[in-house]
Amino acid sequence: MRLYLVRHGLALTKDENPDRPLSEQGLKDVKRMASFLGRAGVRVPRVIHSEILRAQQTALHLSAVIGPGRIVEEMRDLKPSSRLDSLVEAASGWTEDTMVVGHDPFMSRITSFLTSGDANAGVIAFDPASVVCLERDPIITESGGHWTILWHMSPVLLST
């Protein structure tokens, strides 16, 4: 089972728009990432996002390419300072590839926790609209299994 963890695209500031939707650059980066993932053959049957607008927008743009026709779901506890246990518990029962779109530092912390057991290990940094692909060891333990980073892609590496 693969878990794709995504940080939302770059958002407007609160001064520009209090709802903080994706900025023009953020939308461009998310679309470039979606195109890259589509060309790479990534197909995800389930896409989940936080209840915050910029994560929802990111999830919708990505799912249109990597999971067309699939339902995009909202999940609580994916905010920057959310506790990790809700996602850890949920993911331990998932059997199909899933994409989760959220916020930093949550995404960095959950990646570190799943791969090293230490949320503060600093295993990876998430640029806006970046994706890390984790794969769960087929032997599932009480903690939900051990996860390995297969790859990480940032829009900084994608050509304009």
Query: Which amino acid is present at 9?
Result: G
CATH superfamily of the 2-157 domain: Phosphoglycerate mutase-like (3.40.50.1240)
C-beta atoms surrounding 9 within 10 Å: 29
pTM assigned to the model:
0.93
- Give 101-115 pLDDT, tens digit per residue: 999 999 999 999 999
In contact, 113 and 119? CB cutoff 8 Å: yes
Name the phi and psi angles at 123, rounded to 5: -65, -35
Q: What is the pLDDT of residue 67?
A: 83
Domain ranges of the chain: 2-157
Name the phi and psi angles at 108, rounded to 5: -65, -40
Q: What is the pLDDT of residue 139?
A: 66
Q: What is the pLDDT of residue 100?
A: 97
Regions of the chain with pLDDT less than 50? none
Burial class (CB in 10 A: 0-12, 13-18, 19+), 156: exposed
Q: What is the pLDDT of residue 141?
A: 54
